[in-house]
Chain A
């Protein structure tokens, strides 16, 4: 009887101890993978914001692959026609931030979609050149984009995606200047 009690106590104790571990492990996966159907990881870095965000939105690193970021960072002296060169230390810090948080290093569902059809040997240099981006924006007419002085191009995600800076890109948060909410 005593031994039965002791065994029960052990089982109970082990259960109590392991339950939160199992549970937190699940919730970890849930957070990393499934929570964010609509967004990508919301990460920021003061140096990245300062150096890159002066000229354009500091794009969430989770929108491009490691191969893409590496290629972008390799050509900063001719960055889409602009000079964006950095000193060696800053270059290293920002490169590590971008590749460490890139789409292939993220478990968010939307990041995985951004990886679809990416050829690591010739990675796209622009987010707007990724197959997933193109597919999601193929219904946007020029009148809302290049002929819209408040938008001009795809380069400022946050012109239309109100939550872009926080990694939120779902349709519900889209408002096109001069046109209003976007109904897919």
Chain B
């Protein structure tokens, strides 16, 4: 029982950490001009496919991460397994803003063929955060 309480406390603390961190990032996006983030818009964009030239002509976030954030994904090219995006099942997610920014930069460029706007980044973040509640 004690162990369970401890585990629950730890999970809350870790999730709380992710919350605090991503909240700061959302605030930063707001300062950069993003309006209220929308998880719905984030989800819609997550599913959207973007045309690309070359290999993998139809690209979306779901290409590698699947459309269920609680599930593990698979790198579409190398086949390497990718841990779930949802902080609910993977507390390491959204716990490091530098990492979040790095991946948003890299993956927006590959998937959309351009950098994401601050609004789009805020929406993605809101979507990934709400996946905790599902």
Binding site for B on A (CB under 8 A): 54-57, 77, 80-85, 151-153, 155-156, 159
Contacts and interface: CB of A to CB of B under 8 A. Distances in A.
Contacts of B56: 81
Given A81-B55, A81-B56, A153 B109 contact: no
A11 to B, nearest CB: 62
Given A55-B75, A56-B75, A82 B110 contact: yes
Consensus secondary structure, chain A interface: loop
B105 A56 contact: no
Contact of A153 (B54, B78, B106): B78
Contacts of B79: 151-153, 155-156, 159
Chain B interface residue bracket vs A = 10 to 19
A82 B77 contact: yes
Interface of B: 54-56, 75, 77-80, 82, 105-107, 109-110
Consensus secondary structure, chain B interface: loop
Given A57-B80, A85-B106, A152-B79, 13 more contacts: A54-B82, A55-B75, A55-B80, A80-B77, A81-B54, A82-B77, A82-B106, A83-B109, A85-B105, A155-B78, A155-B79, A156-B80, A159-B79
Contacts, number: 38
A56 B78 contact: yes
A155 B82 CA distance: 15
Contacts of A155: 77-79
A56 B78 CA distance: 6
Contact of B107 (A57, A83, A159): A83
Contact of B106 (A84, A151, A152, A156): A84
A153 B75 CA distance: 12
B78 A81 contact: no
B78 A55 contact: yes
A133 to B, nearest CB: 17
Nearest to A151: B79
Contacts of B54: 81
Contacts of A152: 79
Contact of A83 (B78, B80, B106): B106
27 contacts: A55-B75, A55-B77, A55-B78, A55-B80, A56-B75, A77-B109, A80-B77, A81-B54, A81-B56, A82-B77, A82-B106, A82-B110, A83-B105, A83-B106, A83-B109, A83-B110, A84-B106, A85-B105, A85-B106, A152-B79, A153-B78, A153-B79, A155-B77, A155-B79, A156-B78, A156-B79, A159-B79
